[in-house]
Amino acid sequence: MLETVLGFFRENDFWLEFLITVIKIIVVFGICAQIPPFMVWFERRAPAFMQRRKGPNRVGLFGFRLFGLIQPLADTIKLIFKEEVVPTGAHKFFYHIAPVFSLFTSLMVAAAIPFGPPLVILGRTITLSVVNLDVGFLFIFALSSLGVYGITLAGYSSNNKYSLMGALRAAAQMISYEIPLGLSLIPIVIIFGTLDLNSIVVAQANVWDWGIFRAPISFFLFVIAMFAETNRAPFDLAESEAELVAGFHTEYNSFKFSLFYFGEYVSMFVLSCLASICFFGGWQTGFISQNDLTSLLFGIQPLAVLVGVLMTFLKASFFMWLFVWVRWTLPRFRYDQLMNLGWKFMMPIGLFNIVLTAVIAGAIAFK
Amino acid sequence: MGEWIAFGALAGTIIMCALFVVLGRNPVGCAIALVIKLFALAGMYGVIGADFLAAIQVIIYAGAIMVLFTFVIMLLNVPPDSRSRWDRPPVEFLMVGLSVLALFGVGIYLIFGAFAGEGVEVLTRSLVTEQGGNTLMIGRLLFSKYVWPFELASILILMAIIASIVIAKKYNTEES
Amino acid sequence: MNPYLPVLMFLVFGVTIGLILSAISYFVGPQGKKNSIKSEPYECGVPMAGVAQEKFSVKFYLTAILFILFDIETVFLYVWARTFGELGWFGVVEIFVFLVILLAGYIYVLRRGALEWN
């Protein structure tokens, strides 16, 4: 039986690739699904410690409290079993579809991210990203552009004027910061000469080749734009608790409400991974090359891949922690300050950065 | 064979969404159907190997232009169409039918007539990859052979910026 | 294998999971009575005043249009940045002309106050 299965796969390369892709999709989705519960927990414990209190630590499972890590599970279960009240006059189809839109655009970005170095197993090289496009950056940019629709539809379909205004303002904010986001990554394309994320990571083998040393202004712009794109503090006017009731998800309850947060945390995670890929070397350790690492680890290539994956998560966690830290430290921007920052401050700096990088890179490359 | 399945599925989606855009009642629904149609069209470009074009289609058309449409529809509170879609003078149906047939005819002529001769280089995905990828190939052409259209495009964008501000300001002063 | 096949697979997977999750609470939660007060849109406890749509504000329209135009510019910049290595200084000059023209447009926008939000 096993022989026929293996024989079948050896014959049809296509189905083997298909199976590998299915496994990759499940793994990537599994990773992305663990991030929101963990972040919900972290988002409550970390500010607690910052504010000299303890945060949730009571919920226990079988007598083990685990620093309150069970809390998100309890919250999720409670939310699932709450009644879902659809407001009168709400547009039924869009009301149910909007959170799905939000979720799936964030998830699809995770498809293009290389989580580790290529795994060489049984003579087969498997890249650790679900999709291997040579226009990786544009793919990510495209899917971020679609993220606007989830919010807009949510606000529109709720038949609540506060939701609609909140949604339109959030959407205007997101599109205003997409341009600085795009502009800040262009120097990276100039420096590394490619749009493919895998190649960008491979080129950062030495820690002094990392993006942050070669394009610091880009890093600065990208981090700010990253905060604004995910509607995170200090740019979270659209979903702030004190203004506009609760913005575009006022009329959402039960699990759909948490689906929006799911999408937001996943998009935070993938943008963090993108930041670590472009500026911090992705899965590279920075001082050991992949070959040296493999020989250091008894020649077992999967272990070197594991180290690479751990490096990616380490760097992405740094950015996630940065998200939480900034949220609970800085006050919120007023909406007009926010828009002014995007259009009048970040865009000129982004363009100037591109010209500067072009001149410097040109001087290095063309003399 | 897989390509034919993909083509069939995508073409079906495109046609259904396009019909919904034209015949649908709720304007926001039509806008979202158009977004999905553009996404499917991008998938079609991807199937034939035009990665760059697929990405651009989503970034600019589905991600920017349709956002504008959606904003305007939502802000203007366009009410759903109340009368029946078929309640139109018959000559409109005739004109639509004739123009669709004409477009079909042009398309078939282009596919089997003008572009089918020898001397047309068919770009397969492997050919594109060995030349450096889609974006590189387009860039090579755009900045050497077609540099004048490129610069003229920037002037076109400038004109669009100025025009949109003039129109919006006119509306603003009319309002206040 | 076409590189877009994994995209399609992921898309189908993501949408399916999203729909399942979205439907979970609808079916699992208690089906309360459709109380008219409960289902009313929330306005701090006051009955809903006015229709759910606000007056048109032209700022959103302007922001969206300017976003389209600068998005197109960004796409051109991506193409240029990818072919940077092959174009040499001539390419830098080309993109400089492009950026200067668009900078003129940007300055016009700033001077006309189209990006003022209050």
- Reference A169, options A339, A14, A353, A48; nearest CA is A339
Q: How far is it, in rounded angstroms, from Cα A225 to Cα A1?
A: 54
Between B64 and B93, whose confidence is greater?
B64
Direct distance between the N- and C-terminal alpha carbons of chain C, in angstroms, rounded to an integer: 53
Helix (H) or strand (E) holding A124: strand A124-126
- Reference A204, options A105, A311, A69; nearest CA is A311
Q: Is the pLDDT of residue A63 over 70?
A: no
pLDDT band at B141 (very low <50, low <70, confident <90, very high): confident
Q: Is the pLDDT of residue B128 over 70?
A: yes
Output the pTM of the full model: 0.88
Q: Cβ distance C14 to A103 under 8 Å?
A: yes
Nearest CB neighbour to C53, from listed A84, A103, A161: A161
Distance from CA of A99 to the nearest CA of C (A): 7
- Reference A347, options C63, B170, B164, C92; nearest CA is C63
Q: Cβ distance A211 to A218 under 8 Å?
A: yes
Between B122 and B35, whose confidence is greater?
B35
Give the residue-averaged pLDDT of A144-169.
82
Are B139 and C80 within 8 A, CB to CB? yes
Residues 6+ apart with CB under 8 A from B84: none
Residues 6+ apart with CB under 8 A from A206: A286, A287
pLDDT in tens, A191-243: 998 888 988 998 888 888 888 888 899 999 999 999 988 887 787 776 665 45
Q: What is the pLDDT of residue C46?
A: 47
Please list the ranges in chain C whose pLDDT falls under 70: 1, 28-56, 117-118
Q: What is the 3-class SS of chain C, one letter each residue?
A: CCCHHHHHHHHHHHHHHHHHHHHHHHHHCCCCCCCCCCCCCCCCCCCCCCCCCCCCCHHHHHHHHHHHHHHHHHHHHHHHHHCHHHHHHHHHHHHHHHHHHHHHHHHHHHHCCCCCCC
Q: Cβ distance A202 to A128 under 8 Å?
A: no
Q: What is the pLDDT of residue A40?
A: 84
pLDDT in tens, A15-53: 888 888 898 899 888 888 888 888 888 888 888 888 877
As given in the structure block, the two tokens for residue A215 are 């394009």
Q: Cβ distance A252 to A174 under 8 Å?
A: no
Q: What is the pLDDT of residue A243?
A: 53
SS3 content of chain B, % helix, strand, coil (to 5): 80, 0, 20
pLDDT band at B173 (very low <50, low <70, confident <90, very high): low
Q: Is the pLDDT of residue A272 over 90?
A: yes
User: Residue A202 is which amino acid?
Assistant: V
- Residue of chain C minimizing CA distance to A363: C89
Q: How far is it, in rounded angstroms, from Cα C102 to Cα C109?
A: 11
ipTM computed for the complex: 0.85
DSSP state of A129: S
The secondary structure of B58-111 as a DSSP string is IIIIIIIIHHHHHHHHHHHTPPPP-S-TT-S-HHHHHHHHHHHHHHHHHHHHII
- Residue of chain B minimizing CA distance to A142: B59
Q: For residues A18, A21, A26 and A31, what is the CA-based torsion angle, rounded to 10 degrees?
A: 180
Nearest CB neighbour to A104, from listed C14, C40, C106: C14
pLDDT in tens, A214-224: 889 999 999 99
Helices (H) and strands (E) in chain B, counts: 8, 0
Q: How far is it, in rounded angstroms, from Cα A210 to Cα A200?
A: 10
The Cα angle at residue A309 between residues C12 and A48, in degrees rounded to 5: 90
DSSP E strands in A236-344: the ranges are none
| Highest-pLDDT range among A151-155, A298-302, B126-130 | A151-155
DSSP state of A166: H
Q: Cβ distance A231 to A264 under 8 Å?
A: yes
Q: How far is it, in rounded angstroms, from Cα A321 to Cα A305?
A: 24
Q: Cβ distance A46 to A328 under 8 Å?
A: yes
Q: Cβ distance A72 to A44 under 8 Å?
A: no
Give the residue-averaged pLDDT of B11-35.
89
Residues of chain A numbered 2-61 and touching chain C (CB < 8 Å): 14, 17-18, 21-22, 24-25, 28-29
B chain contacts of residue C91, beta-carbon cutoff 8 Å? 143
A chain contacts of residue C21, beta-carbon cutoff 8 Å? 100, 103, 255, 259, 262
Q: Is A62 helix (H, G, I), strand (E, B) or coil?
A: coil
